[in-house]
Amino acid sequence: MKRRDFLLTAAGAGLAPVAGLLTPAQAASTALSLVAEPVTVQILPDGNPATDMLGFNGSSPGPLLRLKQGARQAIRFDNKIDQDSAVHWHGLRIDNAMDGVPGLTQAQVKPGHGFDYALTPPDAGTYWYHSHNRSWEQVARGLYGPIIVEEASPPDIDRDVVVMVDDWRLMETGGLAPGYDSMHDQAHQGRLGNYARALFDDDSTVQRGQRLRLRIINVATDRVFPVKLSGIEGRVVALDGMPLSEPRAIEEMLLAPAQRVDIIADVTSDAAVSVLAPLRDGDYVLGELKVEGKAKERRTSAIAPLPANSLGKPDLANSQDVLVKMEGGAMNPRIMQLNSIWGLGGRNDINQEPVLRIERGRSARLRLANETLFPHGIHLHGHHFFEMSADGALGDARDTSLVMPDQTLDVACVFDNPGKWLLHCHMLGHQAAGMKTWVEVI
Ligand code: C2O
Ligand code: CU
% the chain with pLDDT above 70: 92
Average pLDDT on 211-229 reads 98
From the CA of 90, give the closest atom in ligand 1. 1
CB 188 within 8 A of CB 335: no
Q: How many residues can be counted in the chain?
A: 442
Say how many Å lie between the CA of residue 2 and the centre of ligand 1.
Answer: 31
The structural domains of the chain, with segments of one domain joined by +, span 3-294, 316-441
pLDDT for the residue numbered 336: 53
- Ligand 1 center to 426 CA (angstroms): 6
Q: Looking at residue 300, what is its pLDDT?
A: 86
The pLDDT assigned to 264 comes to 98
Q: How confident is the model at residue 23 (pLDDT cuts 50, 70, 90)?
A: very low
Report CA 338 to chain centroid distance, whole Å. Answer: 28
Backbone angles phi, psi at 383, to 5 degrees: -150, 160
Q: Which atom of ligand 1 is nearest to the CA of 400?
A: 1
- Report the amino acid identity of residue 34: L
Pairing of strands 87-90, 65-68: unpaired
Question: How much distance in Å is there from the Cα of 270 to the middle of ligand 1?
Answer: 39
Ligand closest to Cα of 368 equals 2
Q: Which ligand is nearest to the CA of 188?
A: 2
* Alpha-carbon gap, residue 346 to 368, rounded angstroms: 12
Q: Report pLDDT for 333.
A: 61
Closest ligand 1 atom number to CA of residue 381: 2
Closest ligand to C-alpha of residue 425 is 2
pLDDT at 5 > cutoff 60:
no
* pLDDT, position 296: 84
Q: What is the pLDDT of residue 10?
A: 31
Backbone angle region of 377, left / alpha / beta, with phi > 0 → left and psi within -120 to 50 → alpha: beta
Task: Tell me which residue of 395, 388, 392 sits closest to 411, measured CA to CA.
Answer: 388
pLDDT-based confidence at 332, cuts 50/70/90? confident
Position 127, amino acid: Y
CA pair distance 233, 208, nearest whole angstrom: 11
Residues in CB range of 433: below 8 A, 6 or more apart: 183, 186, 187, 328, 340, 341, 342
The residue type at 243: P
8 Å CB contact between 137 and 91: no
Atom of ligand 1 nearest to the CA of 101: 2
Q: Identify which of 72, 92, 89, 70 has the alpha carbon closest to the alpha carbon of residue 29.
A: 72
CB 127 within 8 A of CB 87: no
For ligand 1, the distance from its centroid to the CA atom of residue 92, given in whole angstroms, is 11
Distance 425 CA to ligand 2 centre (A): 5
What pLDDT does residue 30 have?
87
pLDDT digit string (tens) for 85-132? 999 999 999 999 999 999 999 999 999 999 999 999 999 999 999 999
**CATH T-level assignment (fold) for domain 3-294:** Immunoglobulin-like (2.60.40)
User: What is the whole-number distance in angstroms between the Cα of residue 218 and the centre of ligand 1?
Assistant: 12
Between the CA of 173 and the centroid of ligand 1 the distance, in Å, is 31
Pocket of ligand 1 (CB under 6 A): 88, 90, 130, 132, 258, 379, 381, 422, 424, 426
Look up the CATH superfamily of 316-441: Cupredoxins -  blue copper proteins (2.60.40.420)
For residues 277 and 261, give the distance between their C-alpha atoms in angstroms, rounded to a whole number.
Answer: 15
Which residue, judged by its Cα, is nearest atom 1 of ligand 1? 90
Contact between residue 222 and residue 191 where contact means Cβ atoms under 8 Å apart: yes
Using 50, 70 and 90 to split pLDDT, how confident is the model at 29? low
Q: Say whether 316-441 and 3-294 share the same fold.
A: yes
Of all ligands present, the nearest one to the C-alpha of 377 is: 2
Indicate which atom in ligand 1 lies nearest the CA of residue 424: 2
- Which ligand places an atom closest to the C-alpha of 127? 1
> What's the 86 CA to ligand 2 centre distance in angstroms?
22
pLDDT over 70 (residue 375): yes
Q: Decide if pLDDT at 25 tops 90.
A: no
Q: What is the mean pLDDT of the chain?
A: 92
What's the pLDDT score for residue 14? 33
Using CA positions, which residue lies closest to atom 3 of ligand 1?
90
- Planar angle of CA 424, 432, 416, nearest 5 degrees: 20
The answer for residues whose C-beta is within 8 angstroms of residue 282's C-beta and 6 or more apart is none
Lowest-pLDDT range, 5-14, 136-145, 154-163, 323-332?
Answer: 5-14
ω into 61 cis (within 30 of 0): yes
Indicate whether 15 pLDDT > 50: no
Mean pLDDT across 14-40 = 64
- Residue 258 alpha carbon, nearest atom of ligand 1: 1
Among the ranges given (273-277, 290-294, 320-324, 335-339), the one the predictor scored with the smallest mean pLDDT: 335-339
Mean pLDDT on 8-17: 33
CA angle 112, 138, 189 (to 5 degrees): 165
CB within 8 Å of 351: residues ≥ 6 apart: 103
